[in-house]
Amino acid sequence: MKILMVYPYYPDTFWSFRHALKFISKKAAFPPLGLLTVAAMLPEEWEKKLVDMNVTSLTDKDIKWADYVFISAMVVQRDSVKDIISRCKKLSTKIIAGGPLFTTGYEEFSGVDHFVLGEAEVTLSPFLEDLEKGCAQYIYNSDDRPDINETPVPLWSLINMKKYSSMNIQYSRGCPFNCEFCDIIILNGHKPRTKDKEQMLVELEALYNQGWRGGLFIVDDNFIGNKKKLMTEMLPAIIKWMKEKKYPFIFLTEASINLADDEDLMQLMVEAGFQRVFVGIETPNEDSLAECHKLPNKNRDLVASVKKIQNHGLEVQGGFIVGFDSDPLSIFKSQISFIQKSGIVTAMVGLLNAPRGTRLYQRLKKENRLLEGFSGDNTDCSLNFIPKMNYETLINGYTHILNTIYSPKQYYERLKTFLKEYKPPKTKMKPQFKFHFVGAALKSVWILGIKEKGRRYFWKLIASTLLRYPRSFPLSMSLAVYGFHFRKIAKKLSCTPIGNTPVLEQSEPGG
């Protein structure tokens, strides 16, 4: 059997980092971990190839070679998925589809021969058994939550690691919280399931043996969902392994803001090699936090919490949302103020949307406020519901946030605010000279320091960093490059201001 795994094209968004990756001559930020894991679950004797369309083109020759094409995707990749399905059907190659996009909305896709939904550890095996017998069904689905210690090591040999800026790995699935807008508990459950330390070390060893050195994203929904196991078993094991291997990886992950409440946990993470954490801040407005049931963020000084994490040597990336029913008209200025004061350089601000199956989706459906379509990209100015706030005011306010926080002046000011708080850990990773580092430095100087209109702020940042925070200079330059990417994306978005509606400053709720 010949199997072609295809990962669809990811549109140019804030999260693609495509414009930043060009500085270091990389094609994509991360490889398709789901497909690589599924590939390891297939019979060893089957021939397997993988085409990541973010790295290379999918040719007709690739499709014709395969007996089956496996597709996995997220909602934001929908358009590319439909194109792949159309091409496969024209060439009479059968399609097997799974992953988040299909699990929550497979009805939208005609032309797929078999849907393997839910978690592959549960649904893939029955499909393979039926396929061998010649009686494969159209849909395989289950709400069962498997023991992820049974998940095999991803088949890393299918990719060219040199094309990616970072690798990825999974430690746990599920989240203990129940935010109204989030579909994580639909896909992965409410109770965090973790791998044992032995399994994690096997996976780290596999990447190490493949020759990978550098960034490693632990892709958990909430890395600290099971703090006890993390602190008593997993982190001590990783610390020991990293020391033995002379610190080959730099870890980044996702966590909730209550990470700031546990100094011992933050210290262990830094000792293990963690340098960055993404946190869902969402909004500084207490009423909106209560509305969306974002419990760990309520009744706390969010700026102080962010700075505490930064003080412990972890860069905080933040996710923010506007468009809640409880948002006042002042929310746009409040979001800008919070982002600037917190020093969250990588601040991802999006419009609220209601993914299918979420509590928000169900509530809006009952209120007859749902609209057709959900792009999966909450930064493209599309809404799949009727907001309480005047639509023009919401779009204009959102545009104002993007134009402000990504402008060179505010962006570099925020970077300097971050550097004041950030206490970088002493690096234990052995420096590796790579030619693309030289190219990245030259490109940075040419594009950010000479070509861009905001170049004077770039040079001020360089001078300030070298004088005050020399240990943070490499990170500072990386974040400056991120800023270039964010500005490129912001300019391309379809968030054009509507009419002459001003960004209002009143604190009354929008109607």
Do the domain assignments include residue 396? yes
- The pair of structure tokens assigned to 229 is 């196991």
Do the domain assignments include residue 510? no
Same domain, 107 and 181: no
Same domain, 230 and 180: yes
Cβ neighbour number for residue 232 with a 10 Å cutoff: 12
User: Measured between alpha carbons, how far is 489 from 116 in angstroms, rounded to an integer?
Assistant: 34
DSSP 308-333: HHHHTT-EEEEEEEE--TT-BTTHHH
For residue 36, the domain's CATH number is: 3.40.50.280
Structural domain count of the chain: 2
Q: Are strands 114-116 and 172-173 parallel, antiparallel or unpaired?
A: unpaired
Same domain, 116 and 161: no
Same domain, 114 and 219: no
Q: pLDDT 10s digit of each residue in the chain, 511 long?
A: 999 999 999 999 888 999 999 999 999 999 999 999 999 999 999 999 999 999 999 999 999 999 999 999 999 999 999 999 999 999 999 999 999 999 999 999 999 999 999 999 999 999 999 999 999 999 999 999 999 998 999 999 999 999 999 999 999 999 999 999 999 888 998 889 999 999 999 999 999 999 999 999 999 999 999 999 999 999 999 999 999 999 999 999 999 999 999 999 999 999 999 999 999 999 999 999 999 999 999 999 999 999 999 999 999 999 999 999 999 999 999 999 999 999 999 999 999 999 999 999 999 999 999 998 788 887 788 899 999 999 999 999 999 999 999 999 999 999 999 999 999 987 666 555 455 568 888 999 999 999 999 999 999 999 999 999 999 999 999 999 999 999 999 888 755 555 544 444 333 333 3
Same domain, 53 and 114: yes
User: Measured between alpha carbons, how far is 450 from 434 in angstroms, rounded to an integer?
Assistant: 24
Do the domain assignments include residue 449? no
Sheet holding 114-116, edge to edge: 47-52, 2-7, 68-72, 94-98, 114-116, 139-140
* Segments forming the whole domain that contains residue 248: 148-420
User: Measured between alpha carbons, how far is 464 from 487 in angstroms, rounded to an integer?
Assistant: 22
Q: What's the whole-model pTM score? A: 0.93
User: Measured between alpha carbons, how far is 506 from 331 in angstroms, rounded to an integer?
Assistant: 9
pLDDT score recorded for residue 380: 82
Same domain, 248 and 119: no
Same domain, 123 and 186: no
pLDDT score recorded for residue 379: 78
Residue 474: is it exposed, middle or buried by C-beta count within 10 angstroms (0-12/13-18/19+)? middle
Instruction: Select from 140, 173, 200 the last residue of a domain.
Output: 140
Instruction: Select from 120, 140, 160 the last residue of a domain.
Output: 140
User: Measured between alpha carbons, how far is 285 from 330 in angstroms, rounded to an integer?
Assistant: 10
Residue in 203, 296, 294 with CA at minimum distance from that of residue 251: 203
Same domain, 162 and 183: yes
Same domain, 233 and 127: no
Instruction: Select from 88, 118, 140 the last residue of a domain.
Output: 140
- The pair of structure tokens assigned to 507 is 């604190």
Same domain, 72 and 183: no
pLDDT score recorded for residue 493: 74
For residue 327, the domain's CATH number is: 3.80.30.20
Do the domain assignments include residue 290? yes
Do the domain assignments include residue 62? yes
Same domain, 40 and 184: no
What is the sign, positive or negative, of the torsion defined by CA atoms of 180, 147, 268, 168? negative
Do the domain assignments include residue 448? no
Do the domain assignments include residue 495? no
Same domain, 87 and 222: no
Do the domain assignments include residue 249? yes
